[in-house]
Chains A and B, each alone.
Chain A
Amino acid sequence: MQRTTRLLLGAAIVALGTSPLRADDSPDPIVIPIHNWSSQIVMSNVVGQIFQGMGNSVEYVSTDSQAVYEAVRLGDATLELEVWEGAFGASFRSALEKGGIHDVASHNAVTREDWWYPAWTKDACPGLPDWKALNDCAALFATPETGDKGRFLGGPVDWLKHDQEKVDALGLNFVVVNAGSAAALWAEIAAAEKDKTPIVLFNWTPNFAEAVWPGEFVNFPEWVEGCDKDPAVGPIPDKTYDCGNPANGYLKIAAWDGMKDKWPKAYATLQKVSFTNAQIAQMAKLVDVDGMEPEDAATAWLEANADTWKPWTE
């Protein structure tokens, strides 16, 4: 069944997308790296299947999400579909400086990563999402290892989120405990959900968690450029990081410099690719909530959203 739909889809795209003017794409496989979160895997499969429909061969390789920029730069991987400003901006920028990789386009989606709580937390601490209210409720979040102070569950340390600096700058009554992986964060939310324990932790959007556990970001003083470097910027005059993270970070597409010449048609399509927050969250949901396989989720998404992606291939 699925095979035939995929084939039909492919045939449709080939019929639409071939233009005699452009040079042909190389028969070598386009290598798309996949990481350990589902929206990125599904999105990679969506774009991969679009490429396959155009007659390209595509291969997926799972890689570390930080090390991937080095792989793209060397041509070991061809492109990267989700470059998050907050999480991977630094790795991406340092790869850009070394050369071999470039910024192809930005998604319509904006990214935000910050302190977040699931909806039931608000029942216990009604003043949320204001950060001062959160600080007043700090005792609600106390655990044996944090004593009287509240616990903020941060992401893995290598995500470099500066939560400790934020706690110091704003004088929060919280202790930062770092989880070792995203899975540990979700496991904590799932455990807290059972008896509706208040919890505040690091989270981001777009993300499947929004679909599973509704919740909100904490409202910290608004991000102003330089707030992380210049103590004078932000509400507290002598502290850096006295602000929230940017609420509209970019989500970019990066590619190996050689892609333009090797697969010109696929590259032209890639330049037009752009997803919204809702689309990305939906891709993640197909896998994380509905339990589909990423490749099937991608096929399903393509079938349901032909209006969105067909124009990219023309």
Chain B
Amino acid sequence: MKGRSLPEGGRVALALLMATLALVVLRNLLPDPLIRLPQTLILPFADWINAVFAFARDDLGLMRVTRAFSDVVEVCLDVTANLLYGKSRWPRLGPIPWVVIAASAAVAGHALAGWRLAALAGGTFIWIAVMGQWKWAMETLSVILVAAPFSVALGLALGMLAWHSRRAERVLNPILNIAQSLPHFAYMIPVVVFIGVGPKAGAIVTIIFSVPPMIRMTLLGLRAVPAEIIESGRMSGTTRLQLMTRVRLPAARTELLIGVNQVIMQSLAMVVLASFIGMPGLGQKLLQLLQALKIGLSVEIGITIVLLAIVLDRMSKAWAVRQPSHHDEGSGWLQRHRHLAVWAGLVGLGFALVTLHPYFAVVERAQALSMAGPVDAAVGAFIDMVSPVTDWLRWFLITWVLIPLRDGFLWLPVSAVLVFLAGIGWAVGGPRSALICLAFFLPIALSGWWDRAMITVYTVFVAVTLALLIGVPLGLLGAARPGRARRFLLICDTLQTFPSFIYLIPVVMLFGVNDVAVIAAVMVFATVPIIRYTIEGLRSIPPEIVESAQMSGAGPGQILWHVKLPLAVPTLMVGANQSIMFALFMVIIAAFIGTQDLGQEMQRALSSTDVGKGLVLGFAVAFMGLMADHLLLKWARGRGT
């Protein structure tokens, strides 16, 4: 930005930034209200929210509605729970033996995308069974199997509503924006109040969390249906309902199925967090194991979650790209239903195996294989190996970098921060962006959580800076060869689905309970999107441009610095934006290490089920994310054109 001539608004921006400088330099002379807002200006947002909730719950009888809805969910949960792990509820048929489920998954995989997916799907379920995690995994799946369809249906309905009426869309859009940047814990507190705890609460929090992408994809899909298709539908004399169900929705199939895919991935992301409010299964087990420092066993569960995510992701994507197949007329039933026949055969075989040996029905924990020993040994050896370095690093970072930075952030006057943000906003997108920045940050100051918010900002700032320093070079390295790029992206995918809680324990063992540990944990998580987007940004550069640079005699270093990187900047900005979002999510979870920021208060609000406080803190985090999002995307767009 510096090198360009300043546009019209540039002078205002410069003035605002100079004002910031003045406020900082003159800090000690400033009147107190400019340093921290006076107590009289702090608005009791939490009390207001609590009053609204109390009114909705007690006077409007919303509690009865939510309880009725949760009862419906519970009936569905009982069915899947019975079938998958034999909870004693209607229809009292289960549990289905694991061989049968593994075989079914393999057949489904083959039907959707051939042998490789069949092997992956079948193998995943065999892994789960022989590692002795069957019951936990089925507890998890029993909730996801209920939550995902509910979420898809709800998303479809709301998406159609938004498509139908502009007004609904205008209401929904900001809600979706905020909902997607609220930390997970903020959702959970109202759910505990209205639904209680247990599997149904877990299912409902999963539904709430996974519905926004489905709404967006439905809207996108319906919008994209070509007018000709609708015309031809009209000409065949369809009613409005038929037009929707027979023409529009099928035409939007691909988008809708991508929405389904997103729903499934989001549901799996909630597995561990939802166990805080009573969702049983893998997540709950993972937390218990981490509590007892059993890293190896938790890694096994982490692998299961990643495998399940990969299988479900591949399956739903294969379903999205598969076009409906049509058989030749006159082909036999068996030909048309080959997969069904094979499946029936395998299921029969499975039940036969079960009568031969109970191992094929249930693998007891005592019979389970485990690789926890070697994993624990490896983690221990790694910690021993690096601890001389980490001890020094910890001392250096804390004394020379983190404590001064943190004190600096806390020292800044509120007024300076606000004026600075307005200035940045003005520079990037004119008066509108300046106002947007203020609209996002002023409420944080007014909420009275300023100091804690600044600690969150400081943590995210340091973590994302480090993530950029590490992630961009790694991305450059990865993008150098296509094969390597694929491997790097696969690692990125895995790290992203791997439950973040597992990082926390080794990080504490390495650095102790302090900011270094927190920042290390956040950084691991924030580096992933930067690597990914660096690779994608570099790979999407048209080869002609690189060639023409080569022809004009530029060396590889020059091409990188003067051609490739500038062209990749817009994509990189999206990466940095994602990185900030990830860091904000992780910084809340890092409260389990021990922090003094918004996350710690959020944890406290969850355990005292304080809805108002939880939502205020959640909004504070969401607003930071949305502001960063606005600034970075605006800037990237400005650069791109």
Say whether A145 contacts B593, CB under 8 Å.
no
Q: Per a CB cutoff under 8 Å, which of B278, B288, B592, B606 touches A181?
A: B592
Say whether B609 contacts A157, CB under 8 Å.
no
In the assembled complex, how far is the CB of residue B206 from the closest CB belonging to chain A, in whole angstroms? 15
- The answer for the CA separation of A55 and B12 in the assembled complex, in Å, is 78
Given A61-B198, A144-B394, check contact A190 B293 (CB 8 Å).
Answer: yes
CB under 8 Å from chain B, chain A span 171-225: 177-184, 186-188, 190-191, 194, 208
Say whether B505 contacts A183, CB under 8 Å.
yes
CB under 8 Å from chain B, chain A span 42-64: 57, 59-64
CB under 8 Å from chain A, chain B span 345-395: 364-366, 383-384, 387, 394-395
Identify which of B87, B279, B365, B594 gathers the most chain A CB atoms within 10 Å of its CB. B594
Say whether A183 contacts B607, CB under 8 Å.
no
The answer to the question of A109 belonging to the interface, with a C-beta cut-off of 8 Å to chain B, is no
> Which of the 9-residue segments B143-151, B219-227, B476-484, B508-516 touches chain A?
B508-516
The answer to the question of B26 belonging to the interface, with a C-beta cut-off of 8 Å to chain A, is no
- The answer for the CA separation of A181 and B633 in the assembled complex, in Å, is 36
- Kindly report which residue of chain B lies nearest to residue A294, judged by CB atoms: B288
Given A187-B293, A187-B509, check contact A180 B590 (CB 8 Å).
Answer: yes
**Residues of chain A contacted by B384 (CB below 8 angstroms):** 194
**Residues of chain B contacted by A296 (CB below 8 angstroms):** 365-366
CB under 8 Å from chain A, chain B span 181-199: 192, 196-199
- Kindly report which residue of chain B lies nearest to residue A208, judged by CB atoms: B292
> Which of the 9-residue segments A17-25, A70-78, A129-137, A306-314 touches chain B?
A70-78
Say whether B403 contacts A145, CB under 8 Å.
yes
Say whether B591 contacts A36, CB under 8 Å.
no
Identify which of A67, A182, A188 gathers the most chain B CB atoms within 10 Å of its CB. A67
The answer to the question of B287 belonging to the interface, with a C-beta cut-off of 8 Å to chain A, is yes
B567-608: CB near A (< 8 Å → 1, else 0) gives: 000000000000000000000001111110000100110111
**Residues of chain B contacted by A61 (CB below 8 angstroms):** 197-199, 278, 280
- The answer for the CA separation of A188 and B593 in the assembled complex, in Å, is 10
Say whether A36 contacts B198, CB under 8 Å.
no
**Residues of chain A contacted by B280 (CB below 8 angstroms):** 60-62
Given A158-B603, A184-B592, A208-B292, check contact A153 B278 (CB 8 Å).
Answer: no
Say whether B276 contacts A64, CB under 8 Å.
yes
- The answer for the CA separation of A181 and B279 in the assembled complex, in Å, is 19
Q: Per a CB cutoff under 8 Å, which of B196, B294, B515, B590 touches A291?
A: B294
Given A144-B395, A179-B593, A194-B387, check contact A158 B275 (CB 8 Å).
Answer: no
Q: Per a CB cutoff under 8 Å, which of A74, A158, A184 touches B196?
A: A74
B263-305: CB near A (< 8 Å → 1, else 0) gives: 0000000000001111110001001101111100100000000
Say whether A76 contacts B592, CB under 8 Å.
no
**Residues of chain B contacted by A66 (CB below 8 angstroms):** 607-608
**Residues of chain B contacted by A186 (CB below 8 angstroms):** 291-293
B69-83: CB near A (< 8 Å → 1, else 0) gives: 000000000000000
**Residues of chain B contacted by A191 (CB below 8 angstroms):** 383, 508-510, 512
- Kindly report which residue of chain B lies nearest to residue A158, judged by CB atoms: B604
**Residues of chain A contacted by B395 (CB below 8 angstroms):** 144
**Residues of chain A contacted by B239 (CB below 8 angstroms):** none
**Residues of chain A contacted by B603 (CB below 8 angstroms):** 156, 158, 180
- Size of the B side of the interface (Cβ < 8 Å), in residues, is 55
**Residues of chain B contacted by A60 (CB below 8 angstroms):** 280
Say whether A183 contacts B512, CB under 8 Å.
no
Say whether B197 contacts A36, CB under 8 Å.
no
- The answer for the CA separation of A157 and B513 in the assembled complex, in Å, is 13
Say whether A180 contacts B595, CB under 8 Å.
yes
- The answer for the CA separation of A45 and B363 in the assembled complex, in Å, is 20
Given A64-B607, A66-B608, A76-B196, check contact A183 B513 (CB 8 Å).
Answer: no
Q: Per a CB cutoff under 8 Å, which of A68, A76, A184 touches B513?
A: A184
**Residues of chain B contacted by A187 (CB below 8 angstroms):** 293, 505, 508-509
- The answer for the CA separation of A70 and B468 in the assembled complex, in Å, is 45
- The answer for the CA separation of A74 and B292 in the assembled complex, in Å, is 31
Given A145-B514, A179-B513, check contact A63 B278 (CB 8 Å).
Answer: yes
In the assembled complex, how far is the CB of residue B361 from the closest CB belonging to chain A, in whole angstroms? 11
Say whether A287 contacts B292, CB under 8 Å.
yes
Say whether B403 contacts A157, CB under 8 Å.
no
Given A71-B196, A208-B292, check contact A184 B515 (CB 8 Å).
Answer: no
The answer to the question of B88 belonging to the interface, with a C-beta cut-off of 8 Å to chain A, is yes
CB under 8 Å from chain B, chain A span 144-180: 144-145, 153, 156-158, 177-180
Say whether A180 contacts B192, CB under 8 Å.
no
**Residues of chain A contacted by B600 (CB below 8 angstroms):** 157, 178, 180
In the assembled complex, how far is the CB of residue A78 from the closest CB belonging to chain B, in whole angstroms? 12
- The answer for the CA separation of A66 and B364 in the assembled complex, in Å, is 33
- The answer for the CA separation of A177 and B403 in the assembled complex, in Å, is 14
- The answer for the CA separation of A177 and B504 in the assembled complex, in Å, is 17
The answer to the question of B410 belonging to the interface, with a C-beta cut-off of 8 Å to chain A, is no
Say whether B508 contacts A184, CB under 8 Å.
yes
- The answer for the CA separation of A170 and B604 in the assembled complex, in Å, is 27
- Kindly report which residue of chain B lies nearest to residue A195, judged by CB atoms: B387
Identify which of A66, A145, A291, A293 gathers the most chain B CB atoms within 10 Å of its CB. A145
A278-296: CB near B (< 8 Å → 1, else 0) gives: 0000000001100101101
**Residues of chain B contacted by A36 (CB below 8 angstroms):** 287-288, 291
Given A67-B609, A158-B607, check contact A183 B504 (CB 8 Å).
Answer: yes
In the assembled complex, how far is the CB of residue A3 from the closest CB belonging to chain B, in whole angstroms? 9
Say whether B514 contacts A143, CB under 8 Å.
yes
Q: Per a CB cutoff under 8 Å, which of B199, B293, B383, B594 touches A179?
A: B594
**Residues of chain A contacted by B197 (CB below 8 angstroms):** 33, 61-64, 67-68, 71, 76-77
Say whether A153 contacts B513, CB under 8 Å.
yes
**Residues of chain B contacted by A38 (CB below 8 angstroms):** 288, 291-292
In the assembled complex, how far is the CB of residue A98 from the closest CB belonging to chain B, in whole angstroms? 13
- The answer for the CA separation of A191 and B511 in the assembled complex, in Å, is 9
The answer to the question of A41 belonging to the interface, with a C-beta cut-off of 8 Å to chain B, is yes
In the assembled complex, how far is the CB of residue A145 from the closest CB belonging to chain B, in whole angstroms? 5
B83-100: CB near A (< 8 Å → 1, else 0) gives: 000011000000000000
- Kindly report which residue of chain B lies nearest to residue A187, judged by CB atoms: B508
The answer to the question of B177 belonging to the interface, with a C-beta cut-off of 8 Å to chain A, is no
**Residues of chain A contacted by B509 (CB below 8 angstroms):** 187-188, 190-191
B25-63: CB near A (< 8 Å → 1, else 0) gives: 000000000000000000000000000000000000000
Identify which of A64, A65, A288, A296 gathers the most chain B CB atoms within 10 Å of its CB. A64
**Residues of chain A contacted by B540 (CB below 8 angstroms):** none
Given A145-B403, A153-B513, check contact A184 B198 (CB 8 Å).
Answer: no
**Residues of chain B contacted by A188 (CB below 8 angstroms):** 508-509, 512-513
**Residues of chain B contacted by A145 (CB below 8 angstroms):** 398, 403, 514-515
Say whether A293 contacts B365, CB under 8 Å.
yes
- The answer for the CA separation of A64 and B606 in the assembled complex, in Å, is 9
The answer to the question of B399 belonging to the interface, with a C-beta cut-off of 8 Å to chain A, is yes
**Residues of chain A contacted by B514 (CB below 8 angstroms):** 143-145, 177
- Kindly report which residue of chain A lies nearest to residue B290, judged by CB atoms: A183
**Residues of chain A contacted by B394 (CB below 8 angstroms):** 144
Say whether B594 contacts A184, CB under 8 Å.
yes
A-B complex: 9 closest residue pairs judged by Cβ atoms: A187-B508, A180-B594, A144-B398, A181-B592, A180-B592, A179-B594, A191-B509, A158-B604, A63-B197
21 contacts between A and B (CB under 8 A): A36-B287, A61-B278, A62-B275, A64-B192, A67-B192, A67-B608, A71-B196, A144-B514, A145-B514, A145-B515, A156-B603, A158-B603, A158-B607, A158-B608, A181-B592, A182-B291, A183-B291, A183-B592, A184-B592, A187-B508, A191-B508
Give chain A's interface residues, CB within 8 Å of chain B: 1-2, 33, 36-38, 41, 57, 59-68, 70-71, 74, 76-77, 143-145, 153, 156-158, 177-184, 186-188, 190-191, 194, 208, 287-288, 291, 293-294, 296
Contacts A145-B514, A190-B509 supplied; 18 other A-B pairs, CB < 8 Å: A1-B364, A37-B291, A41-B288, A57-B88, A61-B198, A62-B284, A63-B198, A64-B197, A64-B606, A76-B197, A76-B198, A144-B514, A158-B603, A179-B513, A180-B591, A181-B291, A183-B505, A296-B366
